Amino acid sequence: MSATTSTNVEQLYADIVQDLVPYYMDAVLLPNQQIILNSLNVSGSTGDQVRFPLMNTYDNAVTISEGTSIIGTSGAESNLIPTAANVTFTKRGLGVDVTEESLEDGGFDMVRNGVLSRLSGGIAQATDIAGLAVCKTEFVNNDGVTGANAAFTQSFVFSPEALAYAAKREPVVKVWYNPNKDVHEFRATVRNGFTALRGNTSSPTTPFGRTIISNALGGTQAEANVQAIATSVANLRSVNAPVGADGMYIGIIDPGLELAINKQIAGLGGTTISSLSDLGNNALRNAALAMVSGATLYRSNNLPDAS
Q: What is the tens place of the pLDDT at every residue in 150-200? A: 999 999 999 999 999 999 999 999 999 999 999 999 999 999 999 999 988
Asked if residue 66 belongs to a domain, the reply is no
Mean pLDDT lowest among 105-109, 165-169, 299-303:
105-109
Domains in the chain: how many in total? 1
Asked if residue 201 belongs to a domain, the reply is yes
Cβ atoms of 156 and 211 closer than 8 Å: yes
The radius of gyration of the chain from alpha carbons, rounded to an integer in Å, stands at: 24
Q: Determine the straight-line distance between the first and last CA of the chain, rounded to whole angstroms.
A: 44
Please name the helix (run of DSSP H) or strand (run of DSSP E) that holds residue 278, with its range, or none: helix 277-286
Q: How confident is the model at residue 44 (pLDDT cuts 50, 70, 90)?
A: confident
The alpha carbon torsion through 117, 120, 123, 126 (nearest 10 deg) reads -60
pLDDT above 90 (res 208): yes
pLDDT given at position 54:
79
Name the residue range of residue 184's domain.
7-56+80-299
CA nearest to 165, candidates 94, 246, 236, 85? 85
pTM of the model: 0.83
Instruction: Give the span between the Cα atoms of 141 and 210, in whole angstroms.
Output: 5
Asked if residue 258 belongs to a domain, the reply is yes
Strands 90-99 vs 183-196: parallel, antiparallel or unpaired: antiparallel
Asked if residue 137 belongs to a domain, the reply is yes
Asked if residue 161 belongs to a domain, the reply is yes
Asked if residue 105 belongs to a domain, the reply is yes
The whole-chain average pLDDT of the chain stands at: 85
Asked if residue 70 belongs to a domain, the reply is no
Asked if residue 307 belongs to a domain, the reply is no
Strands 152-158 vs 249-253: parallel, antiparallel or unpaired: antiparallel
pLDDT given at position 58:
66
Instruction: Give the span between the Cα atoms of 130 and 126, in whole angstroms.
Output: 6
pLDDT above 90 (res 241): yes
CA distances from 190 to 6, 10, 33, 84 (A): 27, 22, 18, 24
Mean pLDDT lowest among 73-82, 152-161, 297-306:
73-82
- Residues 76-105: what's their mean pLDDT? 85
